[in-house]
Structure 1
Amino acid sequence: MRPGRQLAVLGFIFVVLYLLVFFSGGASGGWKDRLEPRLGLDLIGGTRLTLEATNSIDGKPPTSENLEEARRIIENRVNAYGVAEAEVVTEGDRNIVVSLPGQNRELNDVGSAAELRFRKVLKATDGSGAVTAPAATPAPSGSASPAPSGSASASPKASASAKATASPSAGGQGGGAPAPSASPSASASPSAPAASPSASAAPVPQSVEEQRKAVEKKVGATAWAAASALQAPADFTADPSLAEKLKPFGTLSPAEVAVLSPQMQFNVPTITCAQLDKRPAASIKDEKQQAVACESGAAKYLLDVAKVVGTDVDDADAVLDQTSQWVVSLNFTGSGQDKWTALTREAFNNEGGACDQTALGQDGKCRVAVVLDNEIVSSPEIQGVLTGDSQITGSFNQKDAAELAGNLRYGALPVTFVPQEQQNVTATLGESHLRAGLLAAGIGMLLVIIYSFFYYRLLGSVIFLSLVLSALLVFGALVVLGRQIGFTLTLAGIAGMIVSLGVAADSFVIYFERLKDEIREGRSPRSAVPRAWIRARRTIISANAITLMSAVVLYIVSVGAVKGFAFALGLATILDLVVVFLFRHPIMTMFARTRAFLSPRVSGLGRALPARTEQANPRNPRVKEA
């Protein structure tokens, strides 16, 4: 064996690795900056949100194409926040993880379905659950009318809040030439985040029809028959018995309410806006069906089919209007502008009398609701045929308007997501985690080295050098992988590397104890080293292979921090095997040729070498005679 060749190969690996560290793509700044690995949020602070893709009908995961498209749209939305080094990655077949380093913020909106719909308001009633008469006409939330210059404007509802405007994430993206400027207005109403089915709901059946039958069974035949017979919102003053019959509908979860027909949702007074606002995401996604939604949490509207949708919007921008208020300006595509003009003409003329008296505005004109996902952002009264673009107005600040415009601009998600976990880590806490992790790693390595020198003496230097080389390999690999594949070192990753120290120490023990056994069997140290290596090698490989397989399985089935732990453990285990084969065995072969290795006091083989000497004397009769 020529140990020099193996050591040369190891040296070559180090040279290539650290050339990549200092000079590969992404390396910039001074030498210190180039040696910094990419740190995770738990070490430098920031926000991480895990979004899980859901399907309300069959529960199957989305296709890989849809998941990747959703990841791209969410990444565009996050980048619109102007945050450096934001990271959006897929995990498994249904999760997307959004990470924003260096700050804390609410990220739930980036996973909203962002379906934008423009629907004519057909009917309106009270959605508070306290209806005793057919329904009073709610106060209109705004109006839209032609402006003298030929553009159009709309006045928002005065009670809109800035917080509410930031909540909906909006609409689709289309292509086409922008149209001239115009504006129907929209104000924002309080919105609830997309909710998952209620925990109290029965197990979700496989089809909508089965879900509807389960709801019918829950409310009872009497309540179901009474609700099905309604042609308008129930009048409890005219028929007090209806209140008791329809009472079971007030106990339904939002997910159960979502499977009911729009007519039943609208006509049953015990189905309230509190239930409707919390329906699962994409409950009224179908643009070809009528829908029911609420505005301001009290007014319940029956909405027409959507005749203008998010894909008809070409662009959206946050701008200041003439009153120095932040608004979201919408530019329609060519075909989208034609659809918007036709819709405003229908609403202005109330063609066919589609809008009843409860839905008309103050000037007797129909209103058009701007619907984002399950909720109404605004429902301005149309006071003229609008031939230009639109504005969504309300009590926006710059940040809220920019976020809403970004969601409108980058389109609707092809997959529905439910937020699963959001973690906020301050920078101070992250630095504390980093110090604690590095301290734990240093203490672990120090204890292994102290024990090695105490028990193995000269052989302890082999352990020390091996651990140093392994640490350098792991560190260089972390820096390169952070630039090339975006791997970030987290606190869980540091824990994985600390665990790998124990795996490395085990391989030393296996080799050195096997070496002692060979010497006790009568072999010289020089001949015992290669034989001990051959017999210990299989055990070392098997032990590391089991650890590596465990890390791979854990990486595949886990998400988040656990995945980082598994990756770091697997990486450290592989590099430990490289050091075992290219450094530990060659250096032991070289040590076996030195006189120090033959000294029991220096080598650490003290208990094995004397035993060999005592066994050798009886075999030499000449020594006994002398």
Structure 2
Amino acid sequence: MAPPQGQMRPGRQLAVLGLIFVVLFLMVFFVGVPGKSSLAERLEPKLGLDLIGGTRVTYTATTMDGSDPPAEQLEEARQIIESRVNALGVSEAEVVVEGNRNIVISLAGENRDDLKQVGDAAQLRFRKVLKATNGAGVAPQPSVSAEPAPDASASPGASPSAGASPSGGAAVTSSPTPSGGTGGGTGGQGGGAQATATPTPTPTASAAPSATATPSAGASATPAPVSTDVAAIRTEIQKKVGDAAWAAATGLTTVADLATDPTLATTLEPFSTLDPEKEVWALDPAMQFNVPQITCAMLDARKPGSIVDESKQAVACESGGKYLLDVAKVLGTDVGSASGVLDQQRGDWVVSLDFTSEGQKKWTALTREAYNNEGSACDQTALGDGSRCRVAVVLDNQVISSPEIQAVLTGDSQITGSFTSASANELASKLRYGALPLTFVADEAQNVSATLGAEQLRAGLLAAGLGMLLVAIYAFFYYRLLGTVIFLSLILSALLTYGALVVLGRQIGFTLTLAGIAGFIVSLGVAADSFIIYFERLKDEIREGRSPRSAVGRAWTRARRTIISANAISLMAAVVLYIVSVGQVKGFAFALGLATVLDLVVVFLFRHPVMTMFARTRAFLSPRVSGLGRVVAQKPTVADTTVKPRSSRVKEA
């Protein structure tokens, strides 16, 4: 049975609803809003591509032989790119395959610079730095080795410093982020030791070029086998630079010292004319490193994916220093998860890496090799301040950082540097969703116009408004006073929905599209069903003999379960559709689920308490005003069934 009317306090539910409105619209006006925003800007929701237009970027897949990539790899790349875009927020992005090698991304809003990075391959590699030299193309000074400038660093077991991980375990932090890079270093926790990284040195090395010289540690004595395509490109390069230059470069086993042999500079000069994108990438890593005319500017301009082969040595640059890197022994696939977090001790944003179980073993083994410089693989030019190897964090063709390893790291790690919240989460997103199976080249971002014009949008909203008006007129005609409850409930639901749209657009990037509007309109059917269920149940209670006042509580008790069940089914359908769908269908599902939840809020915090308050008024007890006239006239009254007329009682007496 329903609780006695005296125990019902509708004011409390209405007060809770009022508090929700106050908090929601305080967020609308003051949370995430630039200080000088106008009132209209504060109230403006985030609109989708089909309503306001947006930005379109086309990524073209490139392959080594120029052929079209496999369709399954192109689809896999599309899914990864879509995941990266969606990580920017629930933004209704359109990510589609176009033709045999293009992926087109369309996102609402003009000048979306964040789209330019989602197509990066994000091939993460951890490689030991075997050798280092000046990559500016300037002749090195004649010296056997270059010692990096001393810097404050702590040996294992030292007290924690600003670079320590929050947990107090072993950590490695990098030097300031190199220009053009995306961040800084690697860190780890575990082992109970503290280690800091030295700044990236710009060492020099000298040795007279000789074809018979003994290869230094870490250098390949003979070029590794290459594919037919690479061999053909090298043949063309040999023809371009000439036999003399090619023979001199092939005979180098250390960095050419142009200061001790001026004629060598003239001999190797043709290498400075090579095309970085089409030719330099195909050279043997030893040649890329040893020939001074192959500068960091040329290496940084190589085609994407030039050094992703983890089984081969590679050459890459950081802050003007050119590094010969070992084979990659820890890969991006060894990272279980990645997230951008704020380091509480340093106050900087970092990318936290959690390795898989196998990845953790590889990472520990790599740091052990670097810490002990096993086999003297790292020569004097590459050693850090503590005479231990450095490990370069290589993302695609770029060295993010190369800190010295001063402890065997047995825990998870961090990439640190001059990150912002956006850049840390962007890099974490790339690592979290995996590397692309293909290499892409991005076209310039283009602004596109809305597919649905402003006139059509206004016409659609006008049609929706007229439809709502007809519903309100019918409700007043059929339910009279009860129609007021329907009308007010719809108004409150609309205000809640609008406020939620504005807040969610700022906080999670939810974008309202035509599909989302359709989801909100469909949700009105669920809201209308809950009205009909309640009011018709109320009529049934009156037909059974109860007064309108007493029927309100009992009708609510019996209709409540049905209303909750109907909304729960709609909500589950929206959740399932959101999980399995993509693109605009996902936006439709999100809007439907949001509107369903808000409808339940209005049902419990407004409709029921207002009906309870109406039941205590004389207008509600008037059949002509309440809309219950016919039902009240038809119901068998309690007086007709249980109470005899007064005249009969007197006669019997």
Say yes or no: TM over 0.5.
Answer: yes
1:108 aligns with 2:116: yes
CA separation in 2, counterparts of 1:331 and 1:179?
13
1:233 aligns with 2:233: no
Give 1:409 shift.
Answer: 0.5
Give 1:131 shift.
Answer: 2.1
User: Closer, same or farther in 2 for the Cα pair 1:184/1:68, shift >3 Å?
Assistant: farther
Residue 125 of structure 2 is matched in structure 1 by 117
Q: Structure 2 counterpart of 1:241, which letter?
A: T
User: Closer, same or farther in 2 for the Cα pair 1:91/1:142, shift >3 Å?
Assistant: farther
Q: Describe the SS at the equivalent of 2:181.
A: helix
Q: Structure 1 counterpart of 2:256, which letter?
A: A
Residue 309 of structure 2 is matched in structure 1 by 286
Identity %: 60
Residue 361 of structure 2 is matched in structure 1 by 338
CA separation in 2, counterparts of 1:103 and 1:186?
41
Q: Describe the SS at the equivalent of 2:354.
A: strand
Give 1:142 shift.
Answer: 10
1:127 aligns with 2:150: no
Where does 1:134-213 land on structure 2 (aligned, <5 Å)?
Answer: 136-137=146-147, 151-160=169-178, 164-165=181-182, 207-213=229-235
Give 1:84 shift.
Answer: 1.5
Residue 409 of structure 1 is matched in structure 2 by 432
Contact persistence 2:197–2:404 (CA under 8 A): no
- Greater mean deviation of Cα atoms: 142-151 or 283-292: 142-151
Contact persistence 1:186–1:394 (CA under 8 A): no
Contact persistence 1:182–1:387 (CA under 8 A): no
Q: Describe the SS at the equivalent of 1:358.
A: coil
Q: Any unmatched runs of 5+ in structure 2?
A: 1-46, 160-166, 201-226, 459-512, 520-653
User: Closer, same or farther in 2 for the Cα pair 1:167/1:158, shift >3 Å?
Assistant: closer
Q: Describe the SS at the equivalent of 1:73.
A: helix
CA separation in 1, counterparts of 2:418 and 2:349?
8
TM-score where L is the length of structure 1: 0.55
Summarize deviations over 1:447-483 as a string: whole Å, max 9, x none. xxxxxxxxxxxxxxxxxxxxxxxxxxxxxxx978998
1:399 aligns with 2:422: yes
Where does 1:449-464 land on structure 2 (aligned, <5 Å)?
Answer: none
Summarize deviations over 1:546-569 as a string: whole Å, max 9, x none. xxxxxxxxxxxxxxxxxxxxxxxx
Residue 91 of structure 2 is matched in structure 1 by 84
Structure 2 residue corresponding to 1:268, chosen from 287, 291, 298: 291
Q: Any unmatched runs of 5+ in structure 1?
A: 1-38, 171-177, 190-204, 440-477, 485-626
Give 1:180 shift.
Answer: 10
Q: Describe the SS at the equivalent of 2:89.
A: coil
Q: Structure 1 counterpart of 2:182, which letter?
A: T
Structure 2 residue corresponding to 1:390, chosen from 413, 428, 439: 413
Residue 71 of structure 2 is matched in structure 1 by 64
Q: Structure 1 counterpart of 2:259, which letter?
A: T
Residue 315 of structure 1 is matched in structure 2 by 337
Give 1:137 shift.
Answer: 4.5
Residue 611 of structure 1 is matched in structure 2 by none
Structure 2 residue corresponding to 1:218, chosen from 240, 243, 252: 240
Where does 1:366-515 land on structure 2 (aligned, <5 Å)?
Answer: 366-424=389-447, 434=453
Contact persistence 1:185–1:392 (CA under 8 A): no
Contact persistence 1:77–1:410 (CA under 8 A): yes
CA separation in 2, counterparts of 1:183 and 1:112?
33
User: Closer, same or farther in 2 for the Cα pair 1:99/1:109, shift >3 Å?
Assistant: same
Give 1:158 shift.
Answer: 2.5
CA separation in 2, counterparts of 1:182 and 1:328?
21
User: Closer, same or farther in 2 for the Cα pair 1:288/1:226, shift >3 Å?
Assistant: same
CA separation in 2, counterparts of 1:360 and 1:99?
46
Give 1:87 shift.
Answer: 1.6
Q: Describe the SS at the equivalent of 2:329.
A: strand
Q: Structure 1 counterpart of 2:53, which letter?
A: G
CA separation in 2, counterparts of 1:382 and 1:167?
14
1:45 aligns with 2:68: no
CA separation in 2, counterparts of 1:483 and 1:129?
61
Give 1:144 shift.
Answer: 9.1
Summarize deviations over 1:574-597 as a string: whole Å, max 9, x none. xxxxxxxxxxxxxxxxxxxxxxxx
Residue 245 of structure 1 is matched in structure 2 by 267
Q: Describe the SS at the equivalent of 1:401.
A: helix
Residue 549 of structure 2 is matched in structure 1 by none
Q: Structure 2 counterpart of 1:85, which letter?
A: E
Structure 2 residue corresponding to 1:303, chosen from 325, 341, 358: 325
CA separation in 1, counterparts of 2:365 and 2:303?
31
CA separation in 2, counterparts of 1:407 and 1:75?
11
Contact persistence 1:186–1:391 (CA under 8 A): no
Q: Structure 2 counterpart of 1:102, which letter?
A: G
TM-score where L is the length of structure 2: 0.53
CA separation in 1, counterparts of 2:401 and 2:341?
18
Give 1:276 shift.
Answer: 0.2
Give 1:359 shift.
Answer: 0.2
Q: Structure 2 counterpart of 1:132, which letter?
A: P
Summarize deviations over 1:48-96 as a string: whole Å, max 9, x none. 110001102x211111111111011111111111152112111111110
CA separation in 1, counterparts of 2:84 and 2:418?
21
CA separation in 2, counterparts of 1:184 and 1:76?
35
User: Closer, same or farther in 2 for the Cα pair 1:234/1:415, shift >3 Å?
Assistant: same
User: Closer, same or farther in 2 for the Cα pair 1:216/1:336, shift >3 Å?
Assistant: same
Contact persistence 1:143–1:381 (CA under 8 A): no
Contact persistence 1:179–1:331 (CA under 8 A): no
